[in-house]
Amino acid sequence: MRIGRYLLFTPINKMQVTTEGERIVRLLAEVISAKGFERDSYFESAKNIIDGLPKLEGTVHVNRALTLKFMPNYLFGSEALEAPPARRDAGDDAFLFAQGPTRGLSKITFPDWRPVFDAHAAIPNVALFREQADALVAMLQEAPLTQDQMTGDLDFQQSLAQLFTLIPYAQLILEQADVDDTPEDVVDTVFATFVRDFSATAIELHGKASSTDAQQEWALSAVRKPAIDEARGDRIYAEIRALAGAYEMPA
Domain limits, the chain = 1-85+102-112, 113-251
CA 142 to chain centre: 24
β-pair partners for 79: 111
Give per-residue pLDDT as tens, 103-137. Answer: 667 778 888 899 999 999 999 999 999 999 999 99
Is-contact 174 181, C-beta < 8 A? Answer: no
Between CA 114 and CA 120 the distance in angstroms is 10
Q: What is the DSSP string of 177-246?
A: HHHHT--HHHHHHHHHHHHHHHHHHHHHHHTSTT--HHHHHHHHHT--PPPP-HHHHHHHHHHHHTTTT-
The pTM is what?
0.83
Is-contact 133 191, C-beta < 8 A? Answer: no
Between CA 139 and CA 218 the distance in angstroms is 7
Give per-residue pLDDT as tens, 10-44. Answer: 888 888 888 888 888 888 888 887 777 777 777 87
